[in-house]
């Protein structure tokens, strides 16, 4: 653990906001709350910056679009020097590349959020092994992929999965459930299936709509709530989903909420959580649903299987398989005892493994390891001495 407050910079070069960006925002807020001088560097015209401003988080507008450009490298070095940054936690590839230009000034941590294979060519190996003091993988599947490709050093790679904040561990609230259902036009007797995710092809909402069309034949009282907004790149996909629901004859049974910040409230109103992703690391929504005590049906992909354990904390189905997804959802509706057992087990798992404070304690321990590695570099010795003298 840290011997004192660390001066930390989180970097997020994207302009959209999804689970990755929210994770970084949560970390910045937690670090600030617990006395660490911390900043978020992200494009000032992005959604993440707008959210940081709304939360009153320390924001440093920064454009990472051309990470190798000399002006970008010099600007980031000036920022690091100006704020006395001791450690950068980079959440994308672009910012990790730019952070390599600060290895003589501070430690660099690279957090990998995506469960997609990377080829371990020489240039990429140099970037990951020489340009980073420590790697954080958000799922075991992500970590294992990096190790198999030879990109990450096993001694300098840690797994820190997703978490749920205290809002999701709160007790049941019948009044809130009724209020949200009324707002969404849902009756109390209806079975509500919630999918909360950005509207993108890899999140699999199209497969869920097809599955719900099959499910609705046996359970016409069921309703599907799709909460989320598209990115700029996925706008066409998002616009196709209401049309798909109409084609499947279930338009009246599907509610599109758009972007929502009140995911705990939506989960309060829901009976089942569906995570139909085709590609996923360790799903924040999965961790949150476990903490909320809701039964889950999730695709058996990536790190999802690490927290949604089939028959134990939820039900797993093959990805992109609407028939299997419909059958699993129907099983939870038809067998309330099973749904309750899975929900209880999921909640207990979350209590043991998915607390935010515990995850941040793990993160700070990794930061200390990264700092120790950085200080072992000969060209960091002067910078370290200067930092200690502040």
The residue that leads in pLDDT, 148 or 379, is 148
* Placement of tokens 């970097």 in the chain: 11
The confidence score (pLDDT) of residue 317 equals: 98
Bridge partners of residue 158, in order along the sequence: 136
- Alpha-carbon distance of 40 to 17, in angstroms, equals 14
C-alpha closest to that of 297 among 322, 266, 268: 322
User: Which tens digits make up the pLDDT trace of 293-337?
Assistant: 999 999 999 999 999 999 999 999 999 999 999 999 999 999 999
Residue 388 in this model has a pLDDT that exceeds 90: no
Q: Return the pLDDT at 3.
A: 58
CA dist 260 and 54 (Å) reads: 15
**pLDDT > 60? residue 384:** no
Distance CA(367)–CA(385), nearest Å, equals 18
What is the phi/psi pair of residue 305, to 5°?
-70, -15
Residue 143 scores a pLDDT above 80: yes
What's residue 54's pLDDT?
96
Q: Is the model more confident about 355 or about 189?
A: 355
pTM, entire model: 0.93
Please identify which residue in the block is written with the tokens 């980079």: 90
Q: How confident is the model at residue 381 (pLDDT cuts 50, 70, 90)?
A: very low
Residue 389 has pLDDT above 60, yes or no: no
* Centroid of chain to Cα 50: 18
Average pLDDT, the chain: 94
pLDDT of 390 above 70: no
Does pLDDT of 386 surpass 80? no
pLDDT of residue 4: 80
Q: What is the pLDDT of residues 110-126, one digit of tens each?
A: 999 999 889 889 999 99
Provide CATH code, domain 8-163+355-389: 3.40.50.2000
C-alpha gyration radius of the chain: 22
Instruction: Name the class of domain 167-353.
Output: alpha beta
List, for residues 15-46, the tens digit of each pLDDT value: 988 889 999 999 999 999 999 999 999 999 99
| 165 touches 26 (CB < 8 A) | yes
| Residue boundaries of the structural domains of the chain | 8-163+355-389, 167-353
Q: Note the pLDDT of residue 120.
A: 85
Name residue, tokens 């809002």.
167
3-state SS of the chain?
A: CCCCCCCEEEECCCCCCCHHHHHHHHHHHHHHHCCCCEEEEECCCCHHHHHHHHHCCCEEECCCCCCCCHHHHHHHHHHHHHHCCCEEEECCHHHHHHHHHHCCCCEEEEEECCCCCCCCCHHHHHHHHCCCCEEEECCHHHHHHHHHCCCCCHHHEEECCCCECHHHHCCCCHHHHHHHHHHHCCCCCCEEEEEECCCCHHHCHHHHHHHHHHHHHHCCCEEEEEECCCCCCCHHHHHHHHHHHHHCCCHHHEEEEECCCCHHHHHHHCCEEEECCCCCCCCHHHHHHHHHCCCEEEECCCCHHHHCCECCCEEEECCCCHHHHHHHHHHHHHCHHHHHHHHHHHHHHHHHHCEHHHHHHHHHHHHHHHHHHHHCCHHHHHHHHHHHHC
CB 125 within 8 A of CB 388: no
Kindly tell me if the per-residue pLDDT of 378 is higher than 80.
Answer: no
Proportion of the chain above pLDDT 70, given as a percent? 97
Question: What confidence tens digit (pLDDT) does each residue in 237-284 have?
Answer: 999 999 999 999 999 999 999 999 899 999 999 999 999 999 999 999
Distance of alpha carbon 153 from alpha carbon 86, whole angstroms: 22
User: Is 167-353 in the same CATH topology as 8-163+355-389?
Assistant: yes
């Amino acid at each position: 653990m840290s011997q004192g407050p660390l001066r930390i910079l989180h970097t997020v070069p994207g302009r959209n906001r999804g689970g990755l960006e929210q994770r970084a925002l949560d970390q910045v807020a937690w670090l600030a709350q617990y006395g660490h001088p911390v900043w978020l560097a992200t494009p000032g015209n992005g959604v993440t910056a707008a959210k940081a401003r709304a939360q009153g988080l320390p924001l440093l507008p920064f454009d990472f679009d051309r990470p190798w450009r000399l002006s970008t490298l010099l600007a980031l070095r000036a920022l690091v020097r100006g704020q006395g940054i001791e450690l950068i936690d980079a959440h994308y590839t672009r910012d990790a590349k730019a952070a390599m230009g600060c290895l003589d000034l501070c430690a660099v941590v690279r957090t990998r959020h995506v469960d997609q294979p990377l080829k371990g060519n020489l240039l990429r190996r140099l970037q990951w092994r020489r340009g980073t003091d420590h790697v954080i993988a958000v799922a075991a599947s992500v970590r294992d992929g990096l190790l198999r490709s030879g990109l990450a050093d096993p001694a300098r790679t840690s797994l820190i999965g997703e978490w749920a904040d205290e809002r999701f561990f709160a007790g049941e609230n019948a009044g809130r459930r009724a209020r949200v259902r009324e707002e969404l036009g849902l009756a109390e007797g209806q079975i509500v299936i919630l999918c909360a995710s950005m509207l993108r092809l890899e999140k699999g909402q199209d497969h869920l709509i097809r599955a719900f069309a099959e499910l609705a034949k046996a359970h016409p009282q069921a309703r599907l709530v799709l909460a989320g907004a598209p990115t700029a790149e996925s706008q066409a996909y998002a616009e196709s989903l209401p049309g798909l629901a109409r084609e499947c004859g279930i338009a009246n049974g599907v509610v599109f909420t758009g972007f929502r910040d009140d995911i705990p409230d939506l989960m309060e109103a829901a009976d089942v959580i569906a995570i139909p992703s085709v590609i996923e690391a360790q799903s924040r929504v999965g961790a949150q649903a476990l903490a909320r005590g809701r039964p889950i049906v999730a695709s058996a992909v990536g790190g999802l299987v690490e927290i949604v354990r089939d028959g134990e904390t939820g039900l797993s189905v093959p990805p992109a398989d609407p028939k299997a997804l419909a059958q699993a959802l129907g099983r939870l509706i038809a067998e309330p005892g099973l749904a309750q057992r899975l929900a209880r087990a999921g909640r207990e798992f979350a209590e043991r493994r998915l607390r935010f404070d515990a995850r941040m304690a793990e993160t700070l321990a990794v930061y200390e390891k990264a700092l120790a590695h950085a200080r072992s570099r000969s060209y960091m010795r002067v910078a370290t001495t200067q930092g200690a003298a502040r």
